């Protein structure tokens, strides 16, 4: 069997095969609308027959621009981020960008590696959903390289970057007020990491709702855990075993709430009857969970679309003033 390495087909070879100039073949490769339909089809047929692959990296180097965008999220298994990615893709594809996805699983080391990889691949910009304990040095490293950056979901304090997120404080307050109106006076706060800005914003709303109602928060009912389904299942054990357990749980996220529901059922406690639960995010599964979950809608798809719009604007003008878009939450009441 031959081990001879196959040489990459060049654009010049495509042009000669199609009987057009290299400039025309280049315009077809770059999807220019200036080329007639017949010429385009002829060049595309030659590309297909010869096995030509467009060298985007080389094109970016020549033009000093990149149509590849990096997006870094914390957990691809969380449908909140799946919805956010839909919004990002819909918006960026309108402008001809290609998306390069990385997942950190809330690990600082993974985030550092992904950022380095994306910078090495000369992405044109990055949408970053930071991990809980992201340092300012990490993000400032991107800034010194003059790479357009938009933060989404989780804001980093004292940093001047475009940001899209939710009013998490108002959202948490709405969720807890709903439980208080149902008659609950001992409410647990379950999930998330205290290192995270979104945790602090939610816990602020948790306290505000109690203060408005004239109730006192029991700090022993504030249970942090990894922001995962498993974190919810493990964290709810502390609530069940509490010497004076609550009658309701406000969860950091829907994913935590799903885990808590599993944990309660394993302990023989019926969610929605013996223990009320409110989630946060309104991911699609909340409608089909059993029982259907009352939650706070954080509009993840809209967050993705807005982040993509801000990044496109930042790429066009990296000197413009930074923008912060804060979406308003809504409570979705179910069983």
- The string over 132-141, giving b where at least 16 C-beta atoms fall within 10 Å of a residue's C-beta and e elsewhere, is bebeeebbee
pLDDT number for residue 63: 44
The 3-state secondary structure of 241-294, one letter per residue: CCCCCCCEEEECCHHHHHHHHHHHHHCCCCECCCEEEEEEECCHHHHCCCCCCE
| Residues 278 and 134 both lie in one domain | no
pLDDT at 235 over 80: yes
Q: What is the mean pLDDT of residues 164-193?
A: 97
Residues 147 and 173 in one domain: no
Cα–Cα–Cα angle for 131, 70, 312, rounded to 5 degrees: 110
Dihedral angle at the C-alpha atoms of 221, 282, 172, 220, nearest 10 degrees? Answer: 10
Residue 219 in domain: yes
Rounded to an integer, the average pLDDT of 149-170 is 91
> How many other C-beta atoms are found inside a 10 Å radius of the C-beta of residue 114?
22
Choice between 5 and 29, residue whose per-residue pLDDT is larger: 29
- Name the pLDDT band for 137 (thresholds 50, 70, 90): confident
In a domain, 62, yes or no: no
Same domain, 177 and 291: yes
Name the pLDDT band for 59 (thresholds 50, 70, 90).
low
- Domain assignment present for residue 60? The answer is no
**Within a domain: residue 61?**
no
Residue 162 is predicted with a pLDDT of: 94
Are 209 and 273 part of one and the same domain?
A: yes
Asked if 179 and 277 sit in the same domain, the reply is yes
My answer on whether 72 and 33 are in the same domain is no
Same domain, 245 and 310: no
Please report, for the domain that includes residue 46, its CATH number.
1.10.260.40
6, pLDDT greater than 60: no
2 part of a folded domain: no
Do the domain assignments include residue 286?
Answer: yes
Please state the rounded mean pLDDT for residues 69-93: 91
Instruction: For residue 80, give its domain range.
Output: 67-166+300-327
Residue 149 lies in a domain: yes
Q: Check whether residue 280 and residue 311 sit in a common domain.
A: no
> pLDDT tens digits for 266-301?
999 999 899 999 999 999 888 878 788 999 999 999
Per-residue model confidence (pLDDT) at position 194: 92
Q: pLDDT value at position 58? A: 52
Q: Are residues 84 and 138 in the same domain?
A: yes
Instruction: Write the CATH number for 268.
Output: 3.40.50.2300
pLDDT of 55 strictly over 70 = no
Smallest CA-to-CA distance from 165 within 128, 191, 194 is with: 128
Residues 126 and 241 in one domain: no
Domain total in the chain? 3
Q: Residue 112 pLDDT more than 50?
A: yes
Q: Is pLDDT of 258 > 60? A: yes
Q: Percentage of the chain with pLDDT > 70?
A: 93
Are 52 and 44 spatial neighbours (Cβ–Cβ below 8 Å)? no
**How long is the chain?**
335
114 and 178 together in one domain? no
Q: Are residues 283 and 187 in the same domain?
A: yes
Q: Is residue 257 part of a domain?
A: yes
The whole-chain average pLDDT of the chain stands at 88
Least confident of 54-58, 61-65, 133-137, 199-203: 61-65
């Amino acid at each position: 069997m031959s081990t001879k390495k196959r040489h990459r087909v060049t654009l010049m070879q495509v042009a000669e095969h199609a009987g057009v100039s290299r400039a025309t073949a280049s315009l077809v490769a770059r999807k220019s609308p200036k080329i007639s339909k017949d010429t385009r089809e002829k060049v595309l047929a030659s590309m297909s027959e010869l096995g030509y692959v467009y060298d985007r990296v080389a094109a970016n180097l020549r033009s000093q621009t990149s149509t590849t965008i990096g997006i870094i999220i914390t957990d691809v298994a969380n449908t909140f981020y799946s919805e956010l990615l839909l919004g990002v893709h819909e918006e960026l594809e309108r402008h001809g960008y290609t998306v390069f996805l990385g997942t950190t699983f809330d690990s600082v080391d993974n985030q550092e590696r992904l950022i380095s990889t994306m910078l090495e691949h000369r992405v044109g910009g990055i949408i970053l959903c930071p991990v809980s304990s992201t340092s300012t040095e990490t993000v400032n490293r991107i800034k010194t390289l003059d790479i357009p950056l938009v933060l989404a979901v989780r804001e980093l304090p004292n940093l001047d970057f475009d940001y899209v997120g939710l009013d998490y404080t108002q959202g948490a307050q709405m969720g807890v007020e709903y439980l208080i109106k149902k008659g609950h006076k001992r409410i647990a706060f379950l999930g998330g990491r205290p290192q995270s800005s979104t945790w602090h914003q939610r816990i602020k709303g948790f306290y505000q709702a109690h203060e408005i109602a004239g109730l006192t928060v029991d700090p022993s009912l504030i249970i942090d855990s990894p922001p995962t389904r498993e974190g919810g299942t493990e964290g709810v054990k502390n609530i069940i075993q509490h010497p004076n357990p609550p009658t309701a749980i406000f969860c950091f996220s829907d994913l935590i709430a799903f885990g808590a529901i599993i944990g309660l059922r394993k302990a023989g406690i019926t969610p929605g009857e013996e223990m009320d639960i409110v989630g946060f995010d309104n991911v699609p599964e909340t409608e089909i969970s059993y029982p259907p979950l009352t939650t706070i809608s954080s509009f993840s798809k809209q967050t993705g679309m807005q982040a993509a719009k801000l990044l496109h604007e930042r790429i066009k003008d990296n000197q413009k003033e930074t923008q912060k878009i804060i979406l308003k939450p809504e409570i979705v009441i179910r069983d």
